[in-house]
Amino acid sequence: MSSRRFARVAAVGATLSLTTATVAYAAGPGSAGIGDPYYPTYGNGGYDVSHYALDITYVPAGTTIKGKATITATATQDLTSFNLDLLLSASAVTVNGKTASFRKSDPHELVVTPASVIRKGATMTITVAYSGQPRGISYGGVPSPWIGSGTEALALGEPEIAAWWYPSNDHPRDKATYDMTFRVPTGLEAIGNGTLVSKTTSGTTDVWKWSMPQPMATYLAFMAIGQYSVAKGTSGGRPYLVAIAQKAGAGMAAAAKADLMKTPSIINWEASQFGPYPFDTVGGVVPSMSFGYALETQSRPVYTPDFWAGGSNLFVVVHENAHQWFGDAVSVHNWKDIWLNEGFATFAEYLYAEHAGVATTNELLAQNYQQYAATDTWFWGVRLTDPGKHNEFDGAVYDRGAMTLAALRNRLGAPTVSKILKTWVANRKGGDGTVVQFEALAAQISGQDLSGFFQHWLVDRTKPAKTAENGLTGLPTVATRSAIAAADQITANARMLASRQHR
Ligand SMILES: [Zn+2]
């Protein structure tokens, strides 16, 4: 027995050294996708980006971008070539200061061949000069996510936007820090993420420089060009910057501004729920254009003005800023993990309703459990662990996603769920996570077998039974007027947020 075992170990050793030799000497191209099952060409393989320095001139005539991107990355294999995701046209590429050849293998895939092989572990600096008109470009059945034209325009979208305005490794798995310079005709504002480093004027051009020193997913970078009133300062101990379009409907603009100015205090409350705020600055942007949704662009969400058509709407501010923890600090590993973003941000609205004294999370859970009948297969038929390509923003991901966490809180108790959420963020901020990893953490912290719970709430395509296992016993049976109103507002927000899904 023992000699045979030794023989096997020796054989395994031989195989290992052969494998090592293969990896060390066979350089090859990086893959054209990062491995997301929904979107095979999104992201790329073979390198990891640490920093993007974007220098973008925006020309309102023709809604045109002229850009230069300087990308710092580390090779994760010996690379003969690698891809960047870019739908605009590249005109020159360098790698480590040397001219690199490039071609499009597909409208979305810029294949870069450096002058010499980049060794695994080496840092490389890539520059790409490029230009184009993002508004007219559709890809893979996806119409351009770009919003607006001329003097009011927005680079904003999820999952698609980065490839329409800068070259990148376009997937939340590869996050990086950013410096962004936006050059616009004098008098226009150009708002981005993070801290406003400087705003200077050079001839007929205003130059806006923004800095995001914490890792950011590619889709969370944004550029808002237009005529904005910018309010900035410090509130509740935090620097803020709020930009409201001057043309935004007067009533909506006033209500939006009043709510967005409460962002610092909402962030402070959310920090008490989820752990320290992950970024340096807070705020929000409201363009004049209706585009039907809001997006949790890092440190500074962008909202369609329609959220304030009926007056104050703090729930949507709570939602987008909860994403700063769930989505931005901790990103999805694959797009199918979207419940970790939308279910959690909607659950934050439940927690805020309880904090504000308008409804408990159990009242909201009970109200929605009653509202969605077992026969509503459009709602219960969505598998939250795998909602489907281009179905990430189904309303069920929001509403049923939030109900799942409310039911978990009813089953495990508020302190345990609070500990789970804070630990999730503390362990993974700056990186990403999967639904499976979240389920494992919840089981570990609670010391309970939650496999049945998550199976019934996230996987099964039927309404969960009213059992203790499912966290559905002991709920209030009569809903108060204010609980019904809060549930309606949260659902209305979810409907509008879900409308980003135009396809
Ligand atoms: Zn959301």
Distance 213 CA to ligand 1 centre (A): 23
Distance 341 CA to ligand 1 centre (A): 6
Among 147, 122, 120, CA closest to 20: 120
Distance 328 CA to ligand 1 centre (A): 11
Distance 414 CA to ligand 1 centre (A): 22
In the prediction, which pLDDT does 18 show?
44
Q: How many domains does the chain have?
A: 2
Lowest-pLDDT range, 22-36, 61-75, 141-155?
A: 22-36
Let me know if residue 4 belongs to a domain: no
Q: For 78-100, how does the pLDDT look when each residue is reduced to its tens digit (9 = 90+)?
A: 999 999 999 999 999 999 999 99
Report the alpha-carbon distance of residue 28 to residue 25 in Å, rounded. Answer: 10
First-to-last C-alpha distance (Å) of the chain: 62
Neighbours of ion ligand 1 (CB under 5 A): 342, 345
pLDDT at 346 over 70: yes
Distance 398 CA to ligand 1 centre (A): 8
User: Which residue in this structure is represented by tokens 């490029």?
Assistant: 130
Let me know if residue 66 belongs to a domain: yes
| 500 — pLDDT class (breaks 50, 70, 90) | low
Contact 349, 401 (CB under 8 A): no
Q: Which domain holds residue 353?
A: 330-498
Same-domain status, 359 and 214: no
Q: For 365-393, how does the pLDDT look when each residue is reduced to its tens digit (9 = 90+)?
A: 999 999 999 999 999 999 999 999 999 99
Let me know if residue 138 belongs to a domain: yes
Distance 199 CA to ligand 1 centre (A): 31
Same-domain status, 215 and 350: no
In the prediction, which pLDDT does 503 show?
34
Distance 471 CA to ligand 1 centre (A): 24
Torsion sign over Cα 288, 291, 294, 296: negative
Distance 56 CA to ligand 1 centre (A): 28
pLDDT at 23 over 50: no
pLDDT at 2 over 70: no
DSSP secondary structure, 444-456, as one string: HHHTS--HHHHII
Question: Where does a domain end: 170, 193, 221?
Answer: 221
In the chain, % of residues over pLDDT 90? 88
Q: What is the CATH number of the domain that holds 108?
A: 2.60.40.1730
Distance 397 CA to ligand 1 centre (A): 10
Distance 41 CA to ligand 1 centre (A): 24
Report the alpha-carbon distance of residue 200 to residue 188 in Å, rounded. Answer: 12
Distance 493 CA to ligand 1 centre (A): 9
Lowest-pLDDT range, 119-133, 192-206, 233-247, 445-459?
A: 233-247
In the prediction, which pLDDT does 4 show?
35
Distance 494 CA to ligand 1 centre (A): 8
Contact 328, 277 (CB under 8 A): no
For the entire predicted model, the pTM comes to 0.93
Report the alpha-carbon distance of residue 266 to residue 38 in Å, rounded. Answer: 34
| 498 — pLDDT class (breaks 50, 70, 90) | confident
In the prediction, which pLDDT does 499 show?
67
Same-domain status, 467 and 338: yes
Average pLDDT of the chain to the nearest whole number:
93
Contact 129, 166 (CB under 8 A): no
pLDDT at 25 over 90: no
Report the alpha-carbon distance of residue 154 to residue 191 in Å, rounded. Answer: 10
Distance 296 CA to ligand 1 centre (A): 7
Among 236, 237, 254, CA closest to 245: 254
Let me know if residue 188 belongs to a domain: no
Let me know if residue 80 belongs to a domain: yes
Contact 118, 112 (CB under 8 A): no
Let me know if residue 247 belongs to a domain: no
Distance 43 CA to ligand 1 centre (A): 22
Let me know if residue 480 belongs to a domain: yes
Distance 319 CA to ligand 1 centre (A): 6
DSSP secondary structure, 173-209, as one string: TS-EEEEEEEEEETT-EEE-SSEEEEEEEETTEEEEE
| 123 — pLDDT class (breaks 50, 70, 90) | very high
In the prediction, which pLDDT does 416 show?
98
In the prediction, which pLDDT does 494 show?
86
Distance 175 CA to ligand 1 centre (A): 19
Q: What is the CATH number of the domain that holds 381?
A: 1.10.390.10
Distance 338 CA to ligand 1 centre (A): 9
| 249 — pLDDT class (breaks 50, 70, 90) | confident
Distance 432 CA to ligand 1 centre (A): 16
Let me know if residue 435 belongs to a domain: yes
